[in-house]
A and B are shown apart, each in its own frame.
Chain A
């Protein structure tokens, strides 16, 4: 945890002490800028890969209700800017934690074992390479809507299985395995996306 003294900062409005993670000053009520805290802390959720989606939505909407710029439309420019910064930080935290792939990558970073999901192109893992080549080939060859839908479904089930694997790896504190599976999840989600797009294309031109 942070050193206690660094967890407080002066409120810009009444100049008194306020917790870095607070949205509003407890004394004067002024909205604060977004503190430098991780996404889990910002949304008041436990730091884990296993996330309760309902709790995530509830926390996100509950916090947005209080800091969204719509609440500050007739306030001073400074308060407008701070509320926009808060809402932006919340959107960033929510978008990151909502998506299993981005959540896995983010959590690996927090735990000191970053995985680079942007460096694409090369697959070092032979088994993963073979699997992806086969799945892609099947999608390229699929001609009917039913076949494409089936492949999309398969890709999506593989994604769910992969997420379970990531969860188990985090719980066993096996960060290498979690990173490895995160890369697999990335390829699977891209495939699922392409299958969906192909399904829409086929539907559009009967």
Chain B
């Protein structure tokens, strides 16, 4: 017997009629996009001017107001000290991570903050990248709410496939601050494949080349009807169109210095040179040559740039992407010739040089018919609908980076290699090396190198409460679990005593729970009432599921009950339904406990009958919904 498996217990949360559809969000380095899917049709949400792209730029004004998008970007030149851009590059990063990038980033970092996530100084305030991202997400949420005229509280958010655990956690935290429940973090290349409906075409292997403002990803996917199976992924979380802008800006400034000598630039002048460089790069996608102005010390200079020069400036960055592509193809265990199609994603793939490099590498014209700026949000919206309205589509993704732990001598022992399908769990046994040792430190790292200090430190935690034993006698089993969002959790247990502890792994560069709690409190939108409503909704869903489960059991085994017993159960069910209607969480919980008590005897008799039947040789298959299918 095959029951309906997806729908039972599925019930509308309170005020469902006021709840908008879940949205798809592409939270980009340079621009962000929000889209909405209904019945498989996607609408990219636009402003009054028809613009889908919301610049990922936030202005924090002296009066406390927060402005996101085009207007904030306009203020970059005027009030650079109030404006934050490209904050995605800082997600999940510590100050140590950024030393190598110092001077190339448009940020004023708070150097006083030690350890933990990097902090920005903006207009006299100290902000984490998570808070800035949350402000961008709030703007996207507001756009989605205006479009639907309803509250939006659920989203699928995309992240670069190559984002590590800390950056993924930071993204999820930002959504929480913005009052959005993340249904799933989806990797950007996978979302793009979904948008192209590659599964409808011929079965086979496809590559997705995603060059955004600040990140590069390549994923190889195997497609078949309804299934997107990522075979290998790779990339660089700090390589994108921004780097090409910098190269062009430096070229302009060097030209200028050659005739006028070196001068120290103000922040505003650097921003202006970068803006000119970006415009030059974008124009040269369609024209062969042009002139651009930069201004330093009040004196403007004119600079000519041809496409050939731009290509020469961009070439080192694109060569890096090609090298990464080759590595990923090798990781997938395939040859270039096995790939049936290549999809281009990200605004930077508009550059003719990118298209010709990709074509040369893969030996075929890339697909680019969906707007490369919007394709990721389209895929995210489709997945948001699939997760809420149900779907047969299956996205099977992988870990982008190997997970390991530090062993003797600072060497990494890999526990979960990169490109392992997720969700995945891996257990490792450790022992003590000193008599009577009661604690042990475990250092988790992410990356491909052999030495600990060449990889990213994800977390360091101490396992306490190990019973004192002789060295080597304790058996400590540590289990690493990566969920479908690519997020890591760790549990540990001691074998000889059965002591178990859940270790909350907060990334070294993440926010602590306390910091999160404070930010949530400070955020007015996320009032206590919202939280209470959410808890009530969860309890009601759970209560409805219990009632349906008991009713299903009564449907098959009610002969095990006397009339009085049956009456008691029916009364308990009625009480649960009555309390649900009252929207009183405590009352619902109490009624559920009463229902559980009223059905205890029933459950025991059902198990007895099942065991008796099994012993009597009745096929267990009647208790099985048939494997496979």
Chain A residues engaging chain B, CB cutoff 8 angstroms: 4-5, 7-8, 10-11, 13-19, 21-31, 44, 59, 61-66, 68-71, 73-79, 84, 87-88, 91-92, 94-95, 196-197, 200, 203-204
Contact = CB atoms under 8 A, between A and B. Distances in A.
27 contacts: A8-B611, A10-B603, A14-B553, A15-B553, A15-B599, A16-B556, A16-B557, A16-B610, A19-B624, A24-B5, A27-B557, A29-B5, A30-B8, A30-B9, A44-B627, A61-B229, A62-B629, A68-B484, A73-B388, A74-B387, A74-B388, A75-B9, A76-B538, A76-B541, A84-B423, A92-B424, A204-B326
A200 B331 CA distance: 10
Given A26-B623, A74-B10, A64 B614 contact: no
Contacts of A29: 3-5, 8, 552
Given A5-B615, A61-B227, A64-B396, 6 more contacts: A15-B603, A16-B557, A22-B624, A76-B545, A88-B425, A200-B327
Given A70-B386, A204-B323, A196 B625 contact: no
B552 A28 contact: yes
B183 A24 contact: no
Contacts of B610: 8, 16-17
Nearest to A64: B394
Interface in B1-16: 1, 3-6, 8-10
B359 to A, nearest CB: 17
A10 B327 CA distance: 48
B549 A17 contact: no
Nearest to B327: A200
Contacts of A73: 183-184, 387-388
B349 to A, nearest CB: 22
B423 A91 contact: yes
Interface in B386-441: 386-388, 390, 392-396, 420-425
B2 to A, nearest CB: 9
Contacts of A59: 628
Contacts of B394: 61, 64-65, 68, 70
Nearest to A197: B330
B620 A70 contact: no
Interface in B360-382: none
Nearest to A17: B610
B505 interface: no
A91 B421 contact: yes
Contacts of A70: 184, 383, 386-387, 393-395, 484
What class of interface size applies to chain B in its complex with A? Answer: 35 or more
B625 A88 contact: no
Contact of A203 (B326, B395, B603, B615): B326
Given A68-B484, A73-B387, A17 B556 contact: no
B70 to A, nearest CB: 33
B617 interface: yes
A62 B227 CA distance: 10
Q: Which 6 A-B pairs have the closest CB atoms?
A: A17-B610, A15-B603, A73-B387, A28-B549, A14-B549, A19-B624
Contacts of A7: 614, 620
Contacts of B3: 24, 26-27, 29
Contacts of A95: 420-421
A8 B611 CA distance: 7
B627 A23 contact: yes
Contacts of A88: 423-425, 481
B117 to A, nearest CB: 27
Contacts of B9: 30, 75-76, 79
- Name the residue among A26, A76, A95 with the largest chain B CB count within 10 angstroms: A26
A84 B422 CA distance: 9
Contact of A26 (B1, B383, B392): B1
B583 interface: no
A61 B1 CA distance: 21
A13 B546 contact: yes
B548 A28 contact: yes
A44 B629 CA distance: 10
A76 B542 CA distance: 7
B550 A4 contact: no
A91 B422 contact: yes
Nearest to A7: B620
B594 to A, nearest CB: 15
B548 A5 contact: no
Contacts of A17: 606-607, 609-611, 614, 623
A62 B225 CA distance: 12
- Name the residue among B542, B552, B621 with the largest chain A CB count within 10 angstroms: B552
A196 B333 CA distance: 9
A28 B553 contact: yes
B403 to A, nearest CB: 14
Contacts of A61: 224, 227, 229, 394
B603 A16 contact: yes
A79 B224 CA distance: 27
A63 B546 CA distance: 25
A26 B483 contact: no
Interface in B580-629: 599, 602-603, 606-607, 609-611, 614-615, 617, 620-625, 627-629
A31 B8 CA distance: 11
B545 A13 contact: yes
- Name the residue among B4, B10, B393, B611 with the largest chain A CB count within 10 angstroms: B611
B607 A23 contact: no
A87 to B, nearest CB: 5
A117 to B, nearest CB: 15
A197 B392 CA distance: 37
Given A7-B620, A14-B550, A17-B607, A66 B629 contact: yes
Contacts of B387: 70, 73-74
Contacts of B550: 14
B552 to A, nearest CB: 4
A63 B628 CA distance: 6
Contacts of A26: 1, 3, 622-625
A16 B624 CA distance: 12
- Name the residue among A19, A25, A66 with the largest chain B CB count within 10 angstroms: A19
A61 B199 CA distance: 14
Interface in B554-570: 555-557
Contacts of A94: 421
Given A16-B553, A91-B423, A84 B484 contact: yes
Nearest to A65: B394
A75 B541 CA distance: 8
- Name the residue among A29, A44, A76, A197 with the largest chain B CB count within 10 angstroms: A29
A196 B224 CA distance: 27
B546 A69 contact: no
Nearest to B484: A69
A131 B407 CA distance: 33
A22 B607 contact: no
Contacts of B184: 70, 73
Contacts of B323: 204
Interface in B247-305: none
A25 B549 CA distance: 10
A28 B3 CA distance: 8
Contacts of A78: 542
A101 to B, nearest CB: 14
